[in-house]
Amino acid sequence: MLQKQHYRCAGCGLKVTPSLSKRFRYCHYLGKYFCTSCHQNRMMSIPSKIIDKWDFKNYPIADFARDFLNKIWNDPLFDISAIDNNVYKKIKCLEITRELRLKLHYAKRFLKTCRHSESLYSEFQKLPQHLMDDIHVYSLEDFTQVKSGDLQNVLRSLVTSSLKHIKECQLCAVRGFVCEYCRDYDDILYPFELNRVATCTSCRTCYHKTCFVPEKCPKCVRVRAKQRLLDTQTLDNS
């Protein structure tokens, strides 16, 4: 690596003879060697090690790298679904967090338009917006809170309060769904009931998981049929 760097510090460019190169220090974030002025052996967790191995150990990194990581520590930059969806299978606490965030994502839609949920909805607004709007996106701070369990505790408490309100509030309850396959009108479905409800990705209508047939959503079928009828009428009129 030092030969590739031409025996120069990757930070300031200081050049040394090969005999003095042992004094250079390796940065575990940038994967390059730095002089002792640019690398003071400060320690920090490495994002790639957190995501790949759930490794939060601190490693020596260059001063520039440490300043950069501190700057982005609270920024939601890491999209798990884009990096590696298998991370959820490997790290149970992340999968639990994903489910809690998804429930809050759906619950937020109910509470946002309910005039009886102002105080509860204000609790949503205290959380970083990406936690409910981009459920696969994390900041480095989010990862550390998932590791400690603090984030799950906050989300779980809000989920419990939100779902209780939605099912007891008349304004929210009527926005539930009846499964159009079995037409069980006594069983009202909500999108946040992840274990028993399937949600159509196109129209967002909810059905029993045991009833739902992909690509044959009744509502989508009606919409397509209506569109074909309109297209036919337009052609006839022309």
In the predicted model, is pLDDT for residue 118 greater than 90? no
Q: Are strands 206-208 and 197-199 parallel, antiparallel or unpaired?
A: antiparallel
Exposure string for 38-61, b = 16+ CB within 10 A, e = fewer: bbeeeebbbbeebbeeeeeeeebb
Considering 49, 72, 95, which residue would you say is the last residue of a domain? Answer: 72
Q: Which pLDDT score is estimated for 5?
A: 87
**pTM, rounded to two decimals:** 0.84
* Nearest by Cα to 45 from 35, 55, 58, 60: 58
The one-character DSSP state at 21 is: G
Total structural domains in the chain? 3
Q: Are strands 137-138 and 197-199 parallel, antiparallel or unpaired?
A: unpaired
Q: Are residue 169 and residue 186 in the same domain, yes or no?
A: no
Q: Are residue 63 and residue 98 in the same domain, yes or no?
A: no
Q: Are residue 129 and residue 200 in the same domain, yes or no?
A: no
Q: Are residue 198 and residue 131 in the same domain, yes or no?
A: no
Considering 151, 173, 195, which residue would you say is the last residue of a domain? Answer: 173
Q: What is the mean pLDDT of residues 1-15?
A: 88
**Structural domain that includes position 209:** 176-238
Distance CA 238, CA 233 (A): 9
What confidence tens digit (pLDDT) does each residue in 132-169 have?
A: 999 999 999 999 999 999 999 999 999 999 999 998 99
Distance CA 42, CA 235 (A): 72
* 8 in any annotated domain: no
Q: Are residue 63 and residue 106 in the same domain, yes or no?
A: no
Considering 173, 200, 217, which residue would you say is the last residue of a domain? Answer: 173
